Every structure is written in C-alpha cells, then in structure tokens.
A = this chain, B = another copy of it.
Amino acid sequence: MAEILSLREAVAALVRPGDTVAMEGFTHLIPFAAAHEVIRQGLTDLTLVRMTPDVIYDQLIGMGAARKLVFSWGGNPGVGSLHRFRDAVENGWPRPLELDEHSHAGMANRYVAGASRLPFAVLRGYRGSDLPSRSDTISTVRCPFTGEELAAVAAVNPDVTVIHAQRADRAGNVQLWGLVGVQKEAALAAERVLVTVEEVVDELDPRPGAIVLPSWSVHAVAVAPDGAHPSYTAGYSVRDNDFYQAWDPISRDRDTFLAWMRAHVLEAA
C-alpha cells in the first residue's frame, strides 16, 4: 500500500545510489520536482531510463548523478540539443555517460515486457538499422509458426520508477489523465514506485481518459504542486514552452548551467 510521505522522505526511502531509475512522462507529467530532490539528496551512479531524456535528465546528467542513460530520443523537443547530455557523451563532463540506445517502439516494448514480467518483448523493428550493433538489449527471435525473424528487446525493470500524476486519494490510489504515455508500464515494471501528485483528495471521481494505479501497486505518494514544471499537468497547468526555449542558452555553458542549478534547485526546496 502506498504511504503518503513528504517528497524528501519519499526520495530518501525509495531511491538509492547506483539504482536504475526511470522517471517517465512523455512530454506531459514529467516529474521534475522529484528529480530536483534526487539532485539535492546527492544520489549518484544512477542508471537513468527514459524514452525522451528531456530537460529533466539534462539536469541530472549535468549534475553528475548518472553513470548510464537508457533512452530513445535525446533532444529538447522543438528547440534543439540537450547540451548537458551532449557534453557528457562527447566530452565526459562532468563524468562519462554510458549509453543504451533504442527506438521509441523498442523502448516502449521494453517497458511492456517489464510490466508483464516477461524477459523480453517482440516487435517488427530495427530492420536494417545500425542501432542493434551498439546495444546488448536488442536481439532477434524467430516466430515458431511462420519462421519470420523479429526483433527482441530485453525487458527493462527499474529499481525505482518515478512519475507525476494529477492526484491521489488518502489511501494512495493514483489517478492520471491526458497523455498517459508509458507511465503505467514504467511504474508496473519497477520494484518500487514513487508518485508525486498535484494534490491528495478525498475521492477520485472518474475522469475521461484517466487511468488509476491502485494503492497496492504504488510505494509512496508525495504531494508536489506544479511538480511537473516546466512540463505540465493537464487540468492544472500548461507546458512552459518559454522555459524549454530558455533552457537552451542556460544549458549551453557549464558555468551558467551550474549557477542556474545552484540557484533554482540546490538552494531551493
């Protein structure tokens, strides 16, 4: 059953140095507040998993929290590069970053396999691509009925998955709606699940398009209002596109980046 904790307590209880951590949310509902708490608690040596690393992982990578990144598209959507990600990969700053790189279809299916507790998933993918040459988690299987060779991707089972949702009830049942991305799969694939929410309410009245994660599939819920900013929470906020554009110059330079993180993350909270 989910415990309702402060964000600080929840991160301290569920995230450990060296963990494989997935913070999911496909553009929508990205758990920035939790990521900032991870940075403040000085957790490091993380393997970070996310289809789209986005600014959230640019920040974690730039602060040296990650030793490895598992992903499928690492840009600043609609803006350009993730400069901290590039700097880590190209120059090893602040530390080298190992990569395991997939397509979106492959990553989505790795989470599906993880949520299903199967060791792998099958897709018609990667054909002719050089991607398999750089990954140990892409292989092939042959259909026992037709003989067709298909791609196999290894399940991903994070130690912890962190997601942001609109709300939870007092029992810790979690409700989210809008673009639901791959959050259910990422949460169910993990050993431990941390959900930040905009608010805790008495009752989760049904909402169109909503999914519910029952309390017994979640380990901790923490209230973090606007906890997805600069991403957004449908029904509570809109995407701060200005911030995503502003991130480009902030993140381009190491010192500017560090100063920004000091002012807005380390000394905040």
Residues of A within 8 A of B (CB): 116-124, 137, 139-146, 148, 150, 152, 154, 206-210
Task: Indicate if the CB atoms of B122 and A145 lie closer than 8 Å.
Answer: no
Number of identical protomers:
2
How far, in whole Å, are A139 and B154 apart by their CA atoms in the complex? 21
Contact of A122 among B118, B209, B210 (CB under 8 A): B118
Task: Indicate if the CB atoms of B119 and A148 lie closer than 8 Å.
Answer: yes
Cross-chain pairs A/B with CB under 8 angstroms, 14 sampled: A117-B124, A118-B122, A118-B123, A118-B124, A119-B146, A119-B150, A120-B122, A120-B145, A121-B122, A141-B141, A141-B144, A143-B152, A145-B152, A207-B208
Cβ–Cβ < 8 Å partners of A143 in chain B: 119-120, 152
Cβ–Cβ < 8 Å partners of A144 in chain B: 120, 139-141, 152
Task: Indicate if the CB atoms of B150 and A154 lie closer than 8 Å.
Answer: no
How far, in whole Å, are A208 and B211 apart by their CA atoms in the complex? 9
Task: Indicate if the CB atoms of B150 and A139 lie closer than 8 Å.
Answer: no
Seed contacts A117-B124, A139-B144; 8 additional CB < 8 Å A-B pairs: A116-B123, A118-B124, A118-B150, A120-B143, A120-B146, A141-B141, A145-B152, A207-B208
Identity of the chain B residue whose Cβ is nearest the Cβ of A140 in the assembled complex: B144
Identity of the chain B residue whose Cβ is nearest the Cβ of A117 in the assembled complex: B124
How far, in whole Å, are A124 and B121 apart by their CA atoms in the complex? 12
Identity of the chain B residue whose Cβ is nearest the Cβ of A150 in the assembled complex: B118
Cβ–Cβ < 8 Å partners of A142 in chain B: 141
Identity of the chain B residue whose Cβ is nearest the Cβ of A139 in the assembled complex: B144
Contact of A208 among B116, B124, B150, B208 (CB under 8 A): B208
Cβ–Cβ < 8 Å partners of A123 in chain B: 116, 118
Shortest beta-carbon distance, A152 to chain B, in Å? Answer: 5
Closest 4 CB pairs between A and B? A206-B208, A139-B144, A119-B143, A119-B146
Cβ–Cβ < 8 Å partners of A208 in chain B: 206-208, 210
How far, in whole Å, are A154 and B141 apart by their CA atoms in the complex? 14
Identity of the chain B residue whose Cβ is nearest the Cβ of A144 in the assembled complex: B139
Cβ–Cβ < 8 Å partners of A116 in chain B: 123
Cβ–Cβ < 8 Å partners of A141 in chain B: 141-142, 144
How far, in whole Å, are A208 and B210 apart by their CA atoms in the complex? 7
Cβ–Cβ < 8 Å partners of A207 in chain B: 208
Shortest beta-carbon distance, A234 to chain B, in Å? Answer: 12
Shortest beta-carbon distance, A120 to chain B, in Å? Answer: 5
Shortest beta-carbon distance, A206 to chain B, in Å? Answer: 3
